Amino acid sequence: MTCAWIGLATTFSSRAISARSFHVRPEASRPFVNNPGWRRGAGRGSVFTGIIETVGTVRGLVRRPAGARVTIGAPAIAESARLGDSLAVDGACLTVTALAGDAVGCDLSAETLSRTTLGSLRIGARVNLERPLRLGDRLGGHLVSGHVDAVGQLVDRLPRGDGAVYRIRFPESLVPLLVPKGSVAVDGISLTVAALAGRHFDVAVIPFTLRATTLAEKRAGDRLNLEADLIGKYVARLIPGGGAAPPGGGLTLTTLKEHGFA
């Protein structure tokens, strides 16, 4: 039944995902493998996977009345970055607005500063970075929009061999969007909900992820950007009581049967 629900949600939402994630320009009629427009990081409404490419360091931060400008040292990203590229910074989708050697600059709106942990950035802070998925790329994690749903708080870190289990408190708004063994992005990192109880969930973090991201630096009390699974949000939208139902009603067993999913 789970696969059926996901399949139906994908059917209903595929048009929205296509329109927002993969903007097909006229030149894209040629095979994308030979098309420079399909470089990783191009386009608006991008989709990420939660597989962190590199960790950057905040080198500059200029506060403005309506936002801020952050400069991030990231040689692996900067060498191929272009103005206008999308870039997920600790899970928040930003736009590259400046290039300076081995660093990139991004503008932060007042909305981003108030709704994500980027509002508390400081010089020297390390941040997780990922460029968007391209058509033809492997989807190693899960679909991540880069639109942070809420800010959670690390409650505890429990060692498990060379890895660790992180216990995270989340706000009420995420209750219908998190499920055991489901996907969740934590500071942009694709992780699996290992356990879920009340307003807390656990994620098991392997040694590689601790080395390749900023998670090893987090301590109890630290705030974390959280984004629920993209497909799960569409499912919640379609289920009566799980969100505002679309015109004509939500997802029911009858609807599943009508579309061959049950």
CA–CA dist 2, 6 (Å, integer) = 6
CA-based radius of gyration for the chain: 19
Tokens 């942990």 belong to: 117
Predicted local distance difference test score (pLDDT) of residue 23 = 31
3-state secondary structure of 150: strand
Predicted local distance difference test score (pLDDT) of residue 129 = 98
Predicted local distance difference test score (pLDDT) of residue 232 = 84
CATH architecture designation of domain 150-228 = Beta Barrel (2.40)
Structure tokens at 225: 């950007």
Helices (H) and strands (E) in the chain, counts: 6, 12
Predicted local distance difference test score (pLDDT) of residue 135 = 81
DSSP state letters, 98-111: EEETTEEEEEEEHH
Predicted local distance difference test score (pLDDT) of residue 189 = 98
Structure tokens at 246: 């679309």
Q: Which residue positions in the chain have pLDDT lower than 70?
A: 1-45, 240-257, 260-262
42-130 shares its CATH topology with 150-228: yes
Tokens 């009345």 belong to: 65
- The DSSP secondary-structure symbol of 22 reads -
- CATH of span 42-130: 2.40.30.20
Structure tokens at 18: 């296509």
Q: Are 74 and 116 spatial neighbours (Cβ–Cβ below 8 Å)?
A: no
Q: What percent of the chain has pLDDT over 70?
A: 74
Please enumerate in sequence order all residues whose Cβ is within 8 A of that of 181, keeping only pairs 6 or more positions apart, or say none: 192, 193, 194
CA–CA dist 124, 105 (Å, integer) = 15
Tell which residue, 73, 71, 131, 75, has the closest CA to residue 106: 71
Structure tokens at 80: 């191929």
Report the predicted TM-score, pTM, of the whole model to 2 decimal places.
0.77
CA–CA dist 41, 29 (Å, integer) = 19
Tell which residue, 132, 47, 50, 32, has the closest CA to residue 91: 50
- Phi first, then psi, for residue 33 (nearest 5°) are -65, -25
Ranges of each domain in the chain:
42-130, 150-228
